[in-house]
Structure 1
């Protein structure tokens, strides 16, 4: 990734009373760090405000990784209607700001935490993004920075690189609410990664659901979404000669998104979603096909009541399944590695390393692997 991929990478510091800072620019004084008064390692915090979700993670360095101290996640649908109207609607902004107020309240419980808060596709494309960023600061004290697709991909890859094995190439993808990022990766003998090319498609689960809402027949709608994504991916795969090396066993795949983790949870038969059982698991493509069929036949009420889906995400699952299916169509491998980690973890690794902590992504937010039983 280009070194100047982030629009403003300067981390800010959460101040216990005011979370002071200023989103207007660097000409004003930066917030003063508040040093912890205990002997504990310093705290770091990451906020990821996406088109669909608002997420917070607070952690401190622990051995060669980090230990999560606090977390928060809420569906806010900030990107609702952005593709059609070109701006963030007031209801969506209100939902996002309410969630960010919860984040701000949590951060006040962790004085001295160094914070970086980022926004992605919904804010990238909205005409009123600057006004929203200013409103967020005014009402929550959080200094929100909008990052571009390259930086978004870099952070996600940094979080997921621990899940890569010795195979020399990898497809790493992140299905978001407003966009989907695909990275074609080269992995060297020491496990170091080089991003050969990144594709950011303006097709996430939220905007795709809105765009195809006029097709009433569910399977027809699913196939239409799948076809669009497949068509968008073909040139990218062709440019990188992906098909030439698939049969040689040199390509691996890592998926990080709510869609993929939900698929894995369903395939595992979890009675409630458990991150430690999902993160790092291998999901076979035939199990992904089985879950896809299950979802397409599932009634709306049953989908909302499923412990791995829930009411807020149920109507977005068909779009996520379509994007996921198209990716498998283009790269017909046997399995993929499931990552319940993403921008927040990537941000935390960045912040900790910048302060001299020897963070190894392999040890960051350790996982245990669950094995999905083979179908009879």
Structure 2
């Protein structure tokens, strides 16, 4: 038997990484802190702060200053729990309300002043994928599963098997938005429940046929609304299976709410007081879900979006970034010329490596974005060779890119949109994760790499040196080589003018 001290020495010597995931939801902000040990995610602690961000969203999708202030005040509190974390070990994702808000940048701008980590606004499909990932890593059921997550502003529906999500949708219905829409005065009437449930079923008309045809063996519900409802269902009858809810339970709970008459009269001891104001809307939505999708019973899972984020961070830290698979899959789907993509990719990353110190553009994320842009820059060739940059950018901007948040997807689209022809800086949006000068320099590197491989052949361009400093980049070719390539030299001269629009100076010799 080994010495006990040796066993503990071995345990202590295992590499561990502490990570944190923060979900800026429409109802609550959730922080989960975990450590990664031997490819396993171990949850250390959780923090939940009720914010009800969606309450501040008006009919014009403008987020009120009061809601922004509530969110920023909450971030100040959470920031204390994240002191000492390295930037690449913290990921913050924002969902429905900040997706929807036209003035979301005001929130993010204010957040940057009190919170040192970038906020990623993710699409509904990406939110659904991450939710499913969280469930798939923690539930051991077999066969196909339907996962339902009722949030504050949206509800996600995913059908998958194992770790593979097959159908993903996000519908605009949630416990906070429906409370505001159908129960704003606090009155709990049968008519209000009927209207809310009917509205939910109308939303579900978008997906119910396809989901019912696909089918599932188990149905799983996640997040706070379903957790509260499952707790209440258990209290109705002790013989009810623990952790499950059925349609009969939901209808009893609805009737109890109607009997109470008003949100303030609800006496459900099993749930926290701050959950009660949005409970009725959650019940109404879930009744609509059960009826439209013909669900018999639903099991609660404690895993949700933030757990999915944590497991994805573990994969990225282990160099298994899902975005790499997404980019490769997209290249295959659109029959990209892989040989040319590799040439541009290799050239771009080689030049990037020589420029990153002089241009101060280091960091794995910048390297990744440049590489994926190089891989996918000709994805629009299937549409038309003319204006390929516009076609490629359109595809990237509008396709579901699993693993990419909205800013990353937008940056990828911008890099590809302006990889050739005239650059229009005024059409390049403001980014929060990426500095404007870094974006311009990544674009310059992609453009130069495409130009260097314009002949679409190997070994056409000789070895050359690259030097970068401040806003200047210098390409140095072997003596007299450029003199023998007048057309290529003319191309470089034209590129000088294009890059001037970005405030960058290209020199070559």
The TM-score bracket by the shorter chain reads: 0.7 to 0.9
Structure 1 unaligned runs (5+)? 1-36, 271-279, 359-376
**Distance change (3 Å), C-alpha of 1:296 and 1:134:** same
Q: Which residue of 2 aligns with 1:260?
A: 226
Q: Which residue of 1 aligns with 2:164?
A: 193
1:336 CA drift (Å):
1.4
- Asked if residue 207 in structure 1 is aligned to residue 207 in structure 2, the reply is no
Give distance in 2, aligned partners of 1:55 and 1:176. Answer: 12
Q: Which residue of 2 aligns with 1:324?
A: 286
1:39 CA drift (Å):
7.0
Q: Is the 8 A contact 2:20 2:89 kept in 1?
A: yes
Between 117-126 and 82-91, report the one with greater CA deviation: 82-91
SS in 1 for 2:53: coil
Give distance in 1, aligned partners of 2:140 and 2:13. Answer: 37
Q: Work out which of the residue numbers 141, 151, 160 in structure 2 matches 1:176.
A: 151
Q: Work out which of the residue numbers 251, 255, 263 in structure 2 matches 1:300.
A: 263
**Distance change (3 Å), C-alpha of 1:186 and 1:109:** closer
Between 333-342 and 116-125, report the one with greater CA deviation: 333-342
1:62 CA drift (Å):
4.5
Give distance in 2, aligned partners of 1:245 and 1:158. Answer: 19
Residues 79-94 of structure 1 mapped to structure 2, 5 A cutoff: 79-94=54-69
SS in 2 for 1:253: strand
- Bigger relative CO (Cα 8 Å, ≥ 6 apart): 1
1:182 CA drift (Å):
1.6
Residues 1-376 of structure 1 mapped to structure 2, 5 A cutoff: 41-62=16-37, 65-108=40-83, 114-161=89-136, 162-163=138-139, 165-168=141-144, 170-183=145-158, 185-187=159-161, 191-196=162-167, 198-213=168-183, 218-240=189-211, 242=212, 250-269=216-235, 281-298=243-260, 300-303=263-266, 306-356=268-318
Alpha-carbon RMSD across the aligned residues, in angstroms, is: 2.8
Q: Deviations over 1:332-365 (max 9, x none)?
A: 232212122211101100111212299xxxxxxx
Q: TM-score, normalised by structure 2?
A: 0.54
1:135 CA drift (Å):
0.9
1:145 CA drift (Å):
1.1
Q: Deviations over 1:112-167 (max 9, x none)?
A: 88100011111111111112111101122232110111110011000112436223
1:281 CA drift (Å):
2.9
Give distance in 1, aligned partners of 2:154 and 2:87. Answer: 33
Give distance in 2, aligned partners of 1:253 and 1:151. Answer: 20
Give distance in 1, aligned partners of 2:91 and 2:188. Answer: 43
Give distance in 1, aligned partners of 2:178 and 2:279. Answer: 11
Q: TM-score, normalised by structure 1?
A: 0.72
Q: Deviations over 1:223-264 (max 9, x none)?
A: 101001112212411134x1x576xxx532111121110011
SS in 2 for 1:210: helix
Q: Is the 8 A contact 1:104 1:142 kept in 2?
A: no
Give distance in 1, aligned partners of 2:299 and 2:225. Answer: 13
Give distance in 2, aligned partners of 1:201 and 1:236. Answer: 9
1:101 CA drift (Å):
1.0
Give distance in 2, aligned partners of 1:289 and 1:109. Answer: 48
Give distance in 2, aligned partners of 1:167 and 1:324. Answer: 23
Q: Is the 8 A contact 1:55 1:71 kept in 2?
A: yes
**Distance change (3 Å), C-alpha of 1:228 and 1:300:** closer
